[in-house]
A and B are shown apart, each in its own frame.
Chain A
Amino acid sequence: MRKRVNTEFWMILPALVVLAAITVFPFIYTVRLSFMHYPMIQIRSPEFAGLENWIRMFQDPKVRFYWWVTLKYVVGALSCEMILGILIALLLNKIRALEDFFTTLTISPMFFAPVLVGLLGRFLLHDSYGVYAYFLHQVGLFKGGSIFGQGTSALLALIGLDIWEWTPLVIIIVLAGLKALPSEPFEAASIDGATGWNKLWYLTLPMLKPVIFVALIIRTMDVMRYFAKIFITTRGGPADATKIVSIAVYDQAFQAYRMGYAATLTLSMLVVTIILGILFVRFFFGQGE
């Protein structure tokens, strides 16, 4: 018996050691950094700053604004992705024969590198030769100027790019959920004379709740985490209108060279992520099995 334990322990050990080295150690480093003034170009040597970075973060109205932008971006992208994704999945579920064909075609945006999605967005929405911009002009939805040059339209465009790229993921998640639904409740409801809409509202959607929740949390975390798309299109501008917290951290670290303050902002993001992560794990994997 003792031997078995040993084998498996040795199997886990390499991954454990590597992960500790590349994630735990950097995490501790980040916490330490948040209590320091640490200019990246070391004209001055790093010095202990106490709680200065933390106090600054809580007092900085800009930080609140970055979170506000993040919230708008997350809610805007997520609400459209979820509604659209669920609707399309429900429809696709009706035509089983074509399902594989359609999913194969719709998943393609997910494989685009975020940076490429941003570049494509710039190309398609360019004020003088963008096809989408031309189309929007023709329809009369957008008049004049550059789409990425104005705060509201830039944020909407970024939300649009995210919807384009990630709605397919919501679709395939919901489809997987639909396939796993038991058929008995639906048969019983049919015998009782329930209409299609009744079944959708009182059976399908409530039973899909956990699946929808998974999609929601995964997408929320990813929308907050990934910033390449914004980085390559607006870099947070114009006038910070698209500066989500990730971009703000990047700017503090690699533009303003305030590594200590950037670390503090990072940790505040981490707190939000941890809350989401705990929700995710608690709901879907249970504890301890």
Chain B
Amino acid sequence: MKKGQAKLSWMSKLGLLIIFGIFLFWWLFPVYWMVSSSLKVEVEMFTIPPRWLFKPSLGNYKNLFATLGFSSYVINSIIASLSSTAIALLLGSLAGYGLARGKIPRKNDIAFWMISTRMAPIVGVILPLYLIFRKLHLVGTLQGLIIAYTTFNLPFAVWLMRGFFMEIPRDMEEAAMVDGCSKFQAFLYVALPLAKPGLVAMGVLCFMFAWNDYAFAVIFTSGKTQTLPVACARLMTEYGIVWGQVMTTGTVLVAPVLFLGVVIRKYLVRGLTMGAIK
């Protein structure tokens, strides 16, 4: 066995599986509960002790999209998340490459400074941006929100893309430049395609950070520009919480990022530790 581990007996394997089973149950139960609640009719949701068998109904989904107009919030979320991701990837891969390859004085200090901006407390970013945006009439607009999301996605993209480019051997770009490519062409046609898996994974993470955000969106959007998490939280009213709709919105909110996240899971550790662990 690898790493000098003793081979596990059949019994201890079963024991381990039971332990994992318990933890998996703990992790997945809320997911199941959310999705199943979204498919229940109101009466069945609040039955205690819980009823495990029920007739699924799409009533909540119909209600959410047809009556409450949640599709516009979904679109807002998509616009805000995709735009900030696009900005982060575009500027981030350029700067990441420059910092990885360039002969620029104090380039490591520049890189460290950039990533340090990502670690700032969220309220600390929101507070001054809010006052500045108020003067620029950006509060309540998606443009403002996109700029706000760029404050955390751009440093993230620069830092991780720099790491990806540093891992690519220089030889191929140098060969391309010998063949007459400019430095920029070498980046565009040689280095960037090689870094594509990393680029895609970072794109997913940037999208996820923006998509899941509530703290920025609740301050920077209002009414028609609110994003899905904000709309979800707004389902808490003075008269109570419309749980069926909350669970339905939650399912819509989680489904895409969960799918994308599982697809790029090989890059998760690297992305979420800001490249400290590969």
Interface residues of A, Cβ cutoff 8 Å to B: 3-5, 7-12, 14-16, 18-19, 22-23, 25-27, 29-30, 33, 38, 88, 91-92, 94-96, 98, 102-116, 119-120, 122-124, 128-129, 131, 134, 164, 168-169, 172-173, 175-177, 180-181, 183, 186-187, 189-190, 196, 199, 211, 214-215, 218, 221, 224-228, 231-232, 246, 249-250, 253-254, 259, 262-263, 266-267, 269-270, 273-274, 276-277, 280-281, 284-285, 287-289
Contacts and interface: CB of A to CB of B under 8 A. Distances in A.
B104 A12 contact: yes
A270 B120 CA distance: 6
A116 B232 contact: yes
B124 A30 contact: yes
B268 A107 contact: yes
Interface in B1-46: 2-6, 8, 13, 16-17, 19-20, 23-24, 26-28, 30-31, 33-34, 37, 45-46
20 contacts: A4-B102, A8-B98, A11-B95, A12-B94, A15-B94, A25-B132, A33-B127, A105-B24, A111-B208, A113-B229, A116-B229, A120-B33, A120-B34, A129-B48, A134-B48, A164-B27, A169-B272, A176-B269, A249-B124, A269-B124
B277 to A, nearest CB: 5
B114 A227 contact: no
A94 B5 CA distance: 8
B127 A262 contact: yes
Interface in B108-153: 108, 110, 112, 114-117, 119-132, 147, 150-151
B189 interface: no
Contacts of A114: 212, 214
Nearest to B159: A285
Q: Helix, strand, loop or mixed for chain A's interface?
A: helix
Given A7-B183, A29-B132, A266-B123, A12 B3 contact: no
B110 A33 contact: no
A108 B37 CA distance: 18
Interface string B191-220: 000000000000000001001111100010
Contacts of A18: 87, 91, 150, 154
B51 to A, nearest CB: 11
Q: Top 3 nearest A-B pairs by Cβ distance?
A: A8-B102, A15-B95, A11-B98
Contacts of B33: 120, 123-124, 131
A218 B95 contact: no
Interface string B65-100: 000000000000000000000010001101101110
Given A106-B27, A269-B121, A113 B213 contact: yes
B224 interface: no
A198 B19 CA distance: 23
A97 to B, nearest CB: 10
A12 B23 contact: no
